[in-house]
Chain A
Amino acid sequence: MTPRVRRHTAASGKRRGNGNGSGRRPLAKAPTGIAGLDEITNGGLPRDRPTLVCGGAGCGKTLLALEFLVRGALEYDEPGVFLSFEETPEELVTNARSLGFDLERLSARRRLLLDYVRLERAELTEAGEYDLEGLFVRLGHAIDTIGAKRVVLDTIERLFSGLSDNFLLRAELDRLFRWLKAKRVTAIVTGERDGERLTRHGLEEYVSDCVILLDQRVLEQSATRRLRILKYRGSAHGGNEMPFLIDDHGVSVLPITSLGLTHQVSTAHVATGVAGLDGMFGKKGYFRGNSVLVSGTAGTGKSSLAAHFAEAACRRGERCLYFAFEESASQITRNMRSIGIDLEPWLRRDLLRIHAQRPTALGLEAHLVAMHRLIEEWQPRVVVVDPVTNMIAVGSEIEVKAMLARLIDFMKLRQITALFTSLTEGGGAAERTDLGVSSLMDVWMVVGNLETNGERNRTLQIVKARGMAHSNQVREFVMNDGGIALVDVSRRADGSVAIGSARSAQQLDVRGGGRQPRRQRGSK
């Protein structure tokens, strides 16, 4: 999904061993290959060390651990051993198939070794002192057999239910973790969460480098998964909870990119698609990579502005991806044709793709992942999200804002110019957006209907445009079968702006040298 990023991290992962001697050595990392996880851990899990992944039943720890091995084997040339204490190899093969992984094939190619430890207290008689040397021999042999660089123990805590000597088990676990480090394998050890405790038997005491907590909860009828890095020694990490998702592509942790505010900015311009509108931004339009918000009440022309923008991109030969959360693709093309914007040829030439989906069809994370994926796969230069407000239907305001921030970061990194429409409730202040997302945007335009003297006229104003000289005027625009056109500003003698019929009258008045203003009233 993100080959460029992966190759990069793979290369940096191979650099271990360098940089010795000169002061502090950064912790070497092994990329997991799991979408998003390497970004939030700045490169992956601590190399040659164990990481604890804990969480309640069904939180996804086994699948995350499996993907860590599969990606390691496929993408980083690091074979892996999966030592399971819970699921049989057959069960693992079946479960992995739902993520699109073929464990049998990997096993046949000796890139993966699945081993299952069955330990039932009822089937064992304890008669004297023992230790876990058998486990060490078994794991050591498995590692040596395929030259494994990665190991998963899922979950080693089952030993405690199979054996009675807790004191011995603790000493042996301590020995096991030190042995894993000595073996120079990057390991994931899973543990089951138990109430307030991270793991039932305190595995966190043995793992000092990295602890990841997974969590699944049900919010407003939809299950959401969260991942949090509780501890990562010697490495900066975001302590925030990150949503993650398990689907037929495996595990995806959001943000898929977390570039923060370090992206390159462009000074190239992108036309708005509305001739007069470019002029309001100093004749040239938006900056490439800008995020543009168009907000307004229902029927104010937001989608039309978006369609103009999309069409202009296609005319330049650029790909435009249009996410429609309200209307179907055919509805959009029909409606836009009525105002003279023909999107059909661009759809046919595959310069425009309309991805229509009801927001409620998926959870918020799933939406974001789907959008990331489509953008990643098709690499558009321009993206339209119409309307972004419908996302509210599937998440709380804070979640939606966080999701948008991630999406915007992601697109900025790729210098994608994005236009979002936002539906404002009638009656509210013009500047009010339902999402409070305007702070994320570079450009914010408000469109509205101004009702005066018995007529409704369309207005447009630029509330903000970062880094650009822009007009402060409230402009009138008309929408007819030629699309949207801004109307020339017409001032009255007192300096106020005349709109609608008043403007028509005013213009005629100016042209006509001040005569016959009354007769023109009511004309277009």
Chain B
Amino acid sequence: MKNGARRTWRLRLYVAGQTPKSITALANLKRLCEAHLAGQYHIEVVDLVRQPHLARRDDIVVLPTLVRQLPQPIRKIIGDLSNVERVLVGLDVVSHDDPE
């Protein structure tokens, strides 16, 4: 942890209703964040069934989509997040976990 400052990971997960893929994705995300970003993350779930206009605003086509709002730049990861390796690469979490 450089400069002693705690990085905040703002993550937004887009889903459409309580589908098996949505539920799996959220569970996978929570588990992964606890394991790698404990205490430094904030997850917001956006249900497009309730807020369909956000699909256009945030340019969403594929579900589930995980968007890393912070740290910049924005990154997008699609799928139910069952491939943990790829999620970590996609979020660019691995490098920050280095013990340096």
- The residues of A with any CB-CB pair to B shorter than 8 Å are 115, 117-119, 123-135, 137-138, 140-142, 159, 163
A134 touches B21 (CB 8 A): no
Rounded to whole Å, the gap between the CB of A44 and the closest CB of chain B is 29
**Which residues of chain B in 46-66 are interfacial with respect to chain A, using CB atoms and an 8 Å cutoff?**
48-49, 52-53, 55-56, 59-65
Tell me whether B23 is interfacial, beta carbon within 8 Å: no
Q: Secondary structure at chain B's binding surface: helix, strand, loop or mixed?
A: mixed
Residue numbers in A under 8 Å from B70 (CB-CB): none
Is residue B37 within 8 Å, beta carbon to beta carbon, of the partner chain? no
Out of B21, B24, B79, which one reaches A126, CB within 8 Å? Answer: B79
Residue in A124, A129, A135, A137 whose beta carbon sits within 8 Å of that of B76 in the complex:
A124
Determine if A132 and B61 form an interchain contact, defined as CB atoms under 8 angstroms apart: yes
A117 near B86: Cβ-Cβ < 8 Å:
no
Q: List 12 additional A-B contacts (Cβ < 8 Å) besides A115-B56, A131-B62, A132-B61.
A: A125-B75, A126-B86, A127-B77, A130-B79, A133-B19, A133-B48, A134-B14, A134-B55, A134-B62, A137-B55, A137-B63, A141-B55
Residues of chain B lying within 8 A (CB to CB) of residue A142: 56
The one of B16, B24, B81, B90 that contacts A133, using a Cβ cutoff of 8 Å: B16
Complex: how many Å from CA A130 to CA B13?
A: 13
- The digit string for B70-100, where 1 denotes a CB below 8 A from any CB of A, is 0000011111111110110110000000000
B residues whose Cβ falls under 8 Å from a Cβ of A: 14, 16, 19, 21, 24-25, 28, 48-49, 52-53, 55-56, 59-65, 75-84, 86-87, 89-90
Counting residue pairs across A and B whose Cβ atoms lie within 8 Å, the total is 99
CA distance A118 to B65 in the complex (A): 14
Q: Establish whether residues A134 and B82, one from each chain, have CB atoms under 8 Å apart when the complex forms.
A: no
Q: Residue A127 contacts which of B21, B48, B79 (CB distance < 8 angstroms)?
A: B79
A133, A140, A141: most-surrounded residue (chain B CB, <10 A): A133
The one of A117, A128, A159, A163 in contact with B59, judged by C-beta atoms closer than 8 angstroms, is A117
Can you list 19 residue pairs at the A/B interface with Cβ under 8 Å? A119-B61, A124-B62, A124-B78, A127-B78, A127-B86, A128-B25, A128-B28, A128-B80, A129-B21, A130-B78, A130-B80, A131-B21, A131-B63, A134-B16, A134-B60, A134-B62, A135-B62, A137-B52, A163-B78
With A and B bound together, what is the CA distance between A130 and B52 in angstroms?
Answer: 18
* A125–B90 CA distance with the chains assembled, in angstroms: 6
- In the bound complex, residues from chain A placing their C-beta under 8 Å from that of B60 are 134, 137-138
- On whether A129 and B86 interact (CB within 8 A), knowing A134-B62, A137-B52, A141-B53, the answer reads no
Which residues of the other chain, A, contact B63 by a CB distance below 8 angstroms?
130-134, 137
A125 to B56, CA, bound (A): 20
CB B64 to nearest CB in A, in angstroms, measures 7
Our pick among B53, B61, B89 for the contact of A135 (Cβ within 8 Å) is: B61
In the complex the two chains form, is B81's CB within 8 Å of A128's CB? yes
Complex alpha-carbon distance, A127 and B24, angstroms: 12
